[in-house]
Chains A and B, each alone.
Chain A
Amino acid sequence: MQDYNNSSEEQQNLMFHRKLIPILNSVLWLAALPIGCYSEWSEAIDEDYQKICLFLTMYCTFMFEGGLIWWDIMAINYNKSIRLKDSVFVRTIFFNMALTLVVVVLFFVTKELWLMYSVMVTAAWLKYIICRITPKLDVVEIPYFANEYEVKELN
């Protein structure tokens, strides 16, 4: 017998985080657009503040990508009978790391906020479409345990 660590209390906590994280990320992302636009438009603000604004914008767009994954998990599967398919989850992490690298390089090479912004959102969007039209790739489509059965030990 294996000692699983899947008590309902822990699953409830996990579900809470799955709900909390996407909400926070979405709020941050919604804040990113006006912050980014204001910092670019306003000639009155000094350069340091502008950099902070750009950093915040970048951070929030990164968070948006992460938030999307969590939002996916939350939106469809709010009951505790769902688990992540590990291999897909690992692939998603690598995808995000690669995307982050591309965006950071783009930003430091071009210094163009709009380029970074469009790459982030387009990539997230594309990934979402791919996941949705090919359900087997989806990170959330695996039921944790559909039913429970009692086994009898022989001998």
Chain B
Amino acid sequence: MEIILWLGIVLLAGFLITYIWGENKTRKNVKIIQKRLAEEMMTTVSAGSHYKEIPPKMRTVSAKYNLFKSSSGQPLNTSAFDSYLVQGNSMQYCDIHPGDIVFAQKGFRLSDLTKFPSAVILKNLKANKNQCQFKIRRAWTVCPDNLEDEEYIKILTEVMNSPEYLNLKDKAKNIYESDDKMLEGFMKKLEEYRANRDTESLGQSIVISSTYDVDNKKIRFSIHRTSSLMGIVKYVVSVSNTQAA
């Protein structure tokens, strides 16, 4: 019966030695591990036209291992959202700034886009794989792409008379030129769109959005195919300490 005693002593001593060694090793590493887990490489979204200078992913705080709460204290279930790290300054009049994280509900369908204006995520079809793959814009309306010029002007006039647009004009009064300049800019974009449009896709719907051109300090409308829509931004959070990959 001595075997059980010796076995017990040997195993217990072995375990204790391993335990003490393990604890010391873990204590040194645990802070590093926690810090690593609290950050992640997040998909970037370009607010503006400088997508070529933005990598597709950048390091920021983890959407999974940090708690995101509303002002009333309700935690956000981040697993139900796609999260994007904003790079660029063109959404500043929408209170979205560089380094912010925006959350867009997963499983987007065009029928979800019913409320305007909405900050939307669009796939950037021009970007190569080393550049930012998405862009963020403020969508004002969705309409077919085969309307006459007068119909577009009518739609945009309605948009420009909406309380939300008037609010934008008020916020951006230092740089906002005029409604006529906005329409003029839109017609140029429409010409470009029509020139590049595939005739087979005529009649598809488009998103008309606004963006602030940081370089020229102008707000302009732009046109995007609805097929490039990836989601509607529901929440935005300001964080800091963003690092490139």
Q: Residues of A at under 8 Å CB distance from B?
A: 1-4, 33, 36-37, 40-41, 75-76, 81, 113-114, 117-118, 121-122, 124-125, 128-129, 131-133, 135, 138, 141-155
**Which 7 pairs across A and B sit closest by C-beta, in order of nearness?**
A2-B77, A146-B38, A132-B22, A145-B67, A1-B74, A114-B4, A151-B235
**CB-based contact A147/B67 at 8 Å:** yes
Assess A143 versus B38: contact at CB under 8 Å? Given A1-B77, A151-B237, A152-B236: yes
* Chain B residues whose C-beta falls within 8 Å of the C-beta of A153 in the assembled complex: 70, 234-235
Residues of B within 8 A of A81 (CB): 34
Q: A149's contact among B19, B23, B237, by CB below 8 Å, is which?
A: B237
How would residues 131 to 144 of chain B score, 1 for a CB under 8 Å from any chain A CB and 0 otherwise? 00000000000000
Chain B contact-residue range equals 35 or more
Q: Contact: A149 with B1, CB < 8 Å?
A: no
Given contacts A121-B12, A142-B65, A154-B233, 19 further A-B pairs with CB under 8 A are A117-B4, A117-B8, A118-B7, A124-B15, A125-B18, A133-B22, A135-B29, A146-B34, A146-B66, A148-B67, A148-B69, A149-B239, A150-B68, A152-B235, A153-B235, A154-B94, A155-B115, A155-B118, A155-B234
State whether A121 and B11 are in contact (beta carbons under 8 Å apart), knowing that A1-B74, A132-B18 are contacts in the complex: yes
Q: Are A143 and B74 in contact (CB under 8 A)?
A: no
Is A33 a contact partner of B8 (Cβ separation < 8 A)?
A: yes
Q: How far is the CA of A140 from the CA of B38 in the complex (A)?
A: 15
Does B152 reach chain A (CB closer than 8 Å)? no
Contact of B18 (CB < 8 Å), options: A41, A129, A148? A129
Contact in complex: B62, A76 (CB < 8 Å): no
**A87 shortest CB reach to chain B, Å:** 14
Residues of B near any A CB (own CB < 8 A): 1, 3-5, 7-8, 11-12, 14-15, 18-19, 21-23, 25-27, 29-30, 33-34, 37-38, 61-62, 65-71, 74-77, 80, 94-95, 103, 115, 118-119, 233-239
- A74 CA / B27 CA spacing, docked (Å): 13
Q: Which residues of B contact A143 (CB under 8 A)?
A: 34, 37-38, 65
A125 and B14 contact, CB distance less than 8 A:
yes
Closest to A129 in B: B18
How many angstroms from the CA of A2 to the CA of B81 in the assembled complex?
12
Bound Cα distance from A36 to B118, whole angstroms: 72
Min CB gap A151→B, angstroms: 4
Contact (A2, B26) CB under 8 Å given A141-B33, A146-B38, A147-B66: no
Chain A: minimal CB distance from B117 (Å): 8
Interchain nearest-CB distance for B73 vs A (Å) = 9
Residues on the A chain within 8 Å of B75, using CB: 1-2, 4
Residues of chain B lying within 8 A (CB to CB) of residue A147: 38, 61, 66-67
B222 to A: closest C-beta gap in Å = 19
* Partner pick for A114 among B7, B22, B233, CB 8 A cutoff: B7
Q: Which residues of B contact A2 (CB under 8 A)?
A: 74-77, 80
A-B contact pairs, 17 of them (CB 8 A): A4-B75, A33-B5, A37-B1, A75-B23, A76-B23, A114-B4, A121-B12, A122-B11, A132-B26, A138-B26, A147-B66, A149-B68, A151-B68, A151-B103, A151-B235, A155-B115, A155-B118
